[in-house]
Structure 1
Amino acid sequence: MQRWAHHLFQVAAQLAGLSLLCTLIMVLFSITGRLWPSISITGADAYAGYFTAGTAFLALAPTLKRGEHIRVTLLFSHLQPKAQHAMDVLCHLLALLMACALAVFSVRLVLQSHSFMDISTGLDATPLWIPQMGMALGCILFALAFLTDLIRLLQGETLHNASGELARTE
C-alpha cells in the first residue's frame, strides 16, 4: 500500500505543478487581455483563482510526505522517546480525523454543486463542481497521507530523520 500511495502522492505533486503553471498562464492571459482586448479570455481571473486553489490542495499530501509541513516541537522535544512516539501517534490520529472530515465535506460540496448545477457568478459561468474537484481530490490524498504515516508509526517506524529535525529550514 505504501508504494501505491507514494505513486499517488507523486502524481498529485505533478498535478499541483501543472495547476501552478495554469495559474501563470491565466494571469498572463489576463494581463495580455488588458493590453490587447482582442486577446481577452472571459473569466481568466476566476480560472487563475481556481487553479491556485487546486495547487494548494493537491500539494498538501506530497508536502506532508516530504516532511515540509510546519511542526511545533517545543513540547515534543522535551518528552522521552516512548512518550514522543505516543504523542506522535495521537497527533497523527487527530490529524487523520480532521483530514477525513475535510475530505468528506469537500466531496459532499462537489456532489451538491453538481446536483444543483451551481455555476460561478462571473461571465464564464463555470460549473463549480469542476474546480472543486481539485480541492476534494487533494483532501482525500491528504487523509491518505496521514493514514499511511499513522500505519508506519503504529508499526514502530519514525517519521523524522536521526538528527531530530522535523522541518527543513533552508
Structure 2
Amino acid sequence: MRSLLDLIYRAAGGLAALFMIATLAMVLTGIVTRLLDIYVRGTDDYAGYCMAACGFLALAYTFKHGEHIRVTLLIDRFAGGTRRAVETVALVVGAVVAGALAWYSLRLVFNSYEFGDISQGVDATPLWIPQIGMAAGTVVLFVALLDDLLLTLAGRPVARLKSHSNEPARVE
C-alpha cells in the first residue's frame, strides 16, 4: 500500500511539473505571437488553467516531502504524548478542511459538467475540464493527510517521500 500511495503522490507531483511547463509554454506563446502580430486566442486563459492545476496537484507531493510551511512554534514546545496529541489534532483539522475542499471541488466539476458551464474568456472552454486539476489535487492532498493521520494514530512515524538524491527520507 505504501508504494501505491507514494506512486500517487509522485504522479501528482509529476503532473504539477508538466502543468508548470505548460504554463510557461502558454505565456511564451502569448508573448511571441503578440510580437509577431499573430493572435492566438486563449493563451492567457490556458496559462491560468495550467497554473491552477500546477498549484493544486503539487499540494500532496510537497506535503509528503515535508516541505509545506508548518507552524511548529507550538508543536515544538511539547514532547512525547502531548506532542503526538497536538500533531494528531492538527492532522484531523487539516484532513477535515482538505476533505471538505475535495468534496466541494468534485461537486464543482460535476455541476460545471452538468450545467454546461463555459469560460467567459475568448477560449470558451467547458469549465469542468480545467477544474479537474483542482479537484484531483485536493483529493490527493486529502489522501496524504489521512495517510499521515492514520500513521500518527498507529504510533508510527509519518512516511515522507524519498528524494531522488542520495539523501535519506526525512521523518517528522
Same fold (TM over 0.5): yes
Give the alignment of 1:110-129 within 5 angstroms: 110-129=109-128
- The residue number in structure 1 matching 2:164 is none
- Counterpart for residue 153 of structure 2: 154
Deviations 1:52-89 (CA, angstroms, capped at 9, x unpaired):
00000000000000000011111111113110001111
Aligned to 2:27: 27
TM-score normalised over the length of structure 2: 0.90
Cα 1:88–1:123 shift into 2, 3 Å: same
Q: 1:108: which partner in 2?
A: 107
Instruction: Summarize the alignment of residues 60-75 of structure 1 with structure 2, pairs less than 5 Å apart.
Output: 60-75=59-74
Distance 1:148 1:94 in 2: 14
For the residue of structure 1 that corresponds to 2:89, the secondary structure is helix
Instruction: For 1:50, give the aligned amino acid.
Output: Y
Q: Over the residues paired in the alignment, what is the CA RMSD in angstroms?
A: 1.7
The reply on whether 1:16 has 2:23 as its aligned counterpart is no
| 2-structure distance, mates of 1:33, 1:9 | 36
- For structure 2, the residue ranges without an aligned partner over 5 or more in a row are 161-169
The whole-number CA distance in structure 2 between the counterparts of 1:74 and 1:123 is: 47
Instruction: Tell me which amino acid in the other structure corresponds to 1:79.
Output: F
- Describe the shift of the 1:160–1:13 C-alpha distance in structure 2 as closer, same or farther (beyond 3 A): closer
Aligned residues, how many?
163
| DSSP 3-state at the match of 1:13 | helix
Which consecutive segments of 4 or more residues in structure 1 shift more than 4 A? none
CA distance in 2, matches of 1:114, 1:85: 42
With over 3 angstroms needed to count, the CA separation of the structure-2 counterparts of 1:127 and 1:160, relative to structure 1, is: closer
TM-score normalised by L of structure 1: 0.91
Give CA-to-partner distance per residue, 1:31-57, whole Å, 9 cap, x none.
01211123x321000000000000000
Distance verdict in 2 for CA 1:160–1:114, change over 3 Å = closer
Q: Distance in 2 between matches of 1:137 and 1:160?
A: 21
Q: Which runs of no fewer than 5 residues in structure 1 stay unpaired?
A: none
